[in-house]
Amino acid sequence: MLDPVSRVRRFNRAVTSAVGALDTSFLGRGRPLGAARVLNAIGHGRSDVAEIRDYLGLDSGLMSRLLRSLEDDGLIETAAHEDDARRRVATLTRAGRREFAAYEALSNAQAEGFLAQHSQAEALLAAMDLIASALTRERVTLDEMDPRSEQARYCLGEYYAELGRRFKQGFDVSLSRDPDAKDMRRPRGTFIVAMSDTLPIGCVGLKGTDHGYAEIKRLWVAPAARGLRLGRRLMDAAEAAARGLGITLLRLDTNSALPEAARLYRNTGWSEIPRFNDDPYPDLFFEKRL
Amino acid sequence: MLDPVSRVRRFNRAVTSAVGALDTSFLGRGRPLGAARVLNAIGHGRSDVAEIRDYLGLDSGLMSRLLRSLEDDGLIETAAHEDDARRRVATLTRAGRREFAAYEALSNAQAEGFLAQHSQAEALLAAMDLIASALTRERVTLDEMDPRSEQARYCLGEYYAELGRRFKQGFDVSLSRDPDAKDMRRPRGTFIVAMSDTLPIGCVGLKGTDHGYAEIKRLWVAPAARGLRLGRRLMDAAEAAARGLGITLLRLDTNSALPEAARLYRNTGWSEIPRFNDDPYPDLFFEKRL
DNA sequence: AACGATATCTGACTAAAGTCAGATAATGCT
DNA sequence: AGCATTATCTGACTTTAGTCAGATATCGTT
């Protein structure tokens, strides 16, 4: 009754019946599931018909009919794409926005109801994040973003908070050599955020310098996404970006309070070097030639 | 992007598409999903037709047709129920058992594959247990069981292991006043196990004594099921059982290293009393008059 | 302008799931 | 024995989802 496979299967059973209930809640507004899914995809900002079709995995004939039925109900309007008249874009009408809002309210109420049942919501949410990340593992995208973007700032905030917990003396960004955002933008460097669905779950910065090397900074993976080898993927992406920018030498600093990071560096071709800056926090320094 | 409701909804999206994949894997054997679900329900020991219908939420006409199609394929046999000839019971034929085993193998392989992708399987399993318990919360049953049953012994083992972790000096059952199994059986007492699906997730013992009171022993809730107010449900059930046995006074001992337990007792009408035994582990003693 | 590629739409289909009104037979109760 | 109730089955439907082969219009390229 305790072997791992049984536990996964128990989870599958629990979730299958819960999803069934979720689907029927989508049916609560007298519309077949397929049409409801298309309406919601449009409401969530997917306007391109081909994109929706791809996202929902629908046949083009079926997709076309679902669009017609939503159009007949006065919920959406379609028009030719402005750059390419073969493609169509769908937008919600006023009635469609109302209907979409009703679906959103249903979904939110359902989620709130679930949370309200549970007295330790934070543990439950952490577990949900972990599982959602594991399930969407192969759909995690690594996107170059501005280090000042909302997603990047979220990652950095979590990163600093974690350093604060893990360093005995805490962590104060202002004492550390905080990289300038412009050093982590092309062409000097870049900043990469790992996105799972709409949630940022990791980041890494490539910071250009004037000393003949670039630095890797702010490598972070959300607790809920650990174990998916995302750190390695982020490092690979940062190195690839560095190569693309013509950078041939990378350096980084880290702290022995973060042993999993040092392990990753040692396993991926980095070698330890003497201290190369006077930042008070790091006590380990690495270099890698590309 | 971080509010609890969004996190729940992200989980729902992740799980919905994963369940879709799980469903299509069930289609891998050239049988419609409905028939496959009925076959699997029978394979998992649900023989009563009405019970399967209820479990899968099927219309009686549809159910009947699915049974016929499985019968035509030679996978099941149906017969009248021995107590009530209106009801029918379904059993797998030899070919049906083979087919069911093939589905089981598919499910197991799928679960194993999922675990293998993840390098921190234990954290993932703990998260799955937690969520499965939360989702099946309203389907948790409290069953009176023999304290020597497999489920009871599993709970007790976990309970002792947890005491070992939480007490500074560890925990050795043989030093404690281990209640005799027969004191936790009717009519002297009882033992109640909380079952979620097939997994025991909590227990409590009611131990009869010859001193004019009964004792509550071995209250335990699995870590994955905390926050569901299961401790309170178990205590309520134990008190109800005590009332049914004509018991009017309950006592229990506990340890201040288990603050959540003491909080529960104080909030549910128990009052602290002086030490009433010489067990080395407890340092807090409670009493409740029914 | 011609031509192959692409995006969508339409018509004609099938499979699966689900609904509903009886029919049939067994049961429990008076 | 009579009668309402219950469990299942059957026939006749509808809805939803999905498939596939063209038709139509547009695009990019030559």
Average pLDDT over residues A154-183: 87
Give a yes or no: residue B124 inside a domain: no
* % of chain A surpassing 90 pLDDT: 64
Give the residue among B25, B162, B34, B177 at the shortest CA–CA distance from B104.
Answer: B25
Confidence at A245, pLDDT banded by 50, 70, 90: very high
The C-alpha angle with vertex A42 and arms to A38 and A47, in degrees rounded to 5, equals 120
DSSP β-ladder status, B199-208 and B190-196: antiparallel
Residues B57-74 as b or e (16 or more Cβ within 10 Å = b): ebeeeebeebbebbeeee
Cα(A22)–Cα(A40) distance, integer angstroms: 14
Round the average pLDDT of chain A to a whole number and report it: 90
Residue B106: pLDDT above 80? yes
Among the partner residues B10, B130, B227, nearest to A119 by beta-carbon distance: B227
Instruction: Judge whether B157 and B166 are in contact, CB under 8 Å.
Output: no
3-state SS, residue B128:
helix
Among the partner residues A114, A196, A228, nearest to B8 by beta-carbon distance: A114
DSSP β-ladder status, A249-254 and A214-221: parallel
Same domain assignment for residues B87 and B207: no
Q: Total structural domains in chain B?
A: 2
Residue A227: pLDDT above 90? no
Confidence at A73, pLDDT banded by 50, 70, 90: very high
Residue A27: pLDDT above 70? no
Residue A1: pLDDT above 60? no
Instruction: Judge whether B278 and B260 are in contact, CB under 8 Å.
Output: no
Residue A60: Cβ within 10 Å count? 10
Residue A111 belongs to domain spanning: 4-117
Give the residue among B103, B99, B44 at the shortest CA–CA distance from B71.
Answer: B99
Residue B94: C-alpha distances to residues A20, A250, B31, B46, B200 (Å): 31, 65, 18, 17, 31
Same domain assignment for residues B112 and B162: no
Instruction: Judge whether B227 and B191 are in contact, CB under 8 Å.
Output: no
| Confidence (pTM) | 0.80
Instruction: Judge whether B290 and B242 are in contact, CB under 8 Å.
Output: yes
Rounded to the nearest angstrom, the minimum Cα separation between B246 and chain A is 34
Give a yes or no: residue A111 inside a domain: yes
Strand partners, B205: B191, B217
Residue B225 exposed, middle or buried by CB count within 10 Å (0-12, 13-18, 19+)? buried
Residue B78: Cβ within 10 Å count? 16
Q: Which two tokens stand for residue B267?
A: 């909030």
Same domain assignment for residues B227 and B270: yes
Taking only Cα atoms into account, the Rg of chain B, rounded to an integer number of angstroms, comes to: 24
Cα(A145)–Cα(A245) distance, integer angstroms: 16
Using one digit for the tens of pLDDT, what is the confidence trace for B79-89?
A: 999 989 899 99
Segment among A69-73, A131-135, B100-104, B190-194 with least mean pLDDT: A131-135
pLDDT of residue A286: 97
Same domain assignment for residues A78 and A144: no
Return the amino acid letter for A43: G
Average pLDDT over residues A253-273: 94
DSSP string over A55-110: HHT--HHHHHHHHHHHHHTTSEEEEE-SS-TTSEEEEE-HHHHHHHHHHHHHHHHH
Same domain assignment for residues B113 and B155: no
Q: Does A135 touch chain B (CB under 8 A)?
A: yes
Confidence at B1, pLDDT banded by 50, 70, 90: low
Same domain assignment for residues B159 and B190: yes
Give a yes or no: residue B123 inside a domain: no
Q: Which two tokens stand for residue A197?
A: 């669905």
Terminal CA-to-CA distance of chain A, rounded, Å? 50
Using one digit for the tens of pLDDT, what is the confidence trace for B161-199?
A: 999 999 888 888 887 777 778 899 998 999 999 998 778
Same domain assignment for residues B79 and B165: no
* % of chain A surpassing 70 pLDDT: 98
Residue A234: pLDDT above 80? yes
Cα(B279)–Cα(B207) distance, integer angstroms: 15
Distance A62 CA to C12 C1' (A): 14
Give protein residues whose Cβ lies within 7 A of nucleic acid chain C.
A 48-50, 53, 60-61, 63-65, 67-68, 78, 84, 86-88; B 32-35, 58-62, 80, 84-86
Taking only Cα atoms into account, the Rg of chain A, rounded to an integer number of angstroms, comes to: 24
Same domain assignment for residues A256 and A143: yes
Same domain assignment for residues A45 and A89: yes
Instruction: Judge whether B109 and A2 are in contact, CB under 8 Å.
Output: no
A54: nt with nearest C1' to CA: C7
For residue A226, list chain B residues with Cβ-Cβ distance below 8 A: 120, 123
Give a yes or no: residue B264 inside a domain: yes
The CATH number given to whatever domain includes residue A270 is: 3.40.630.30
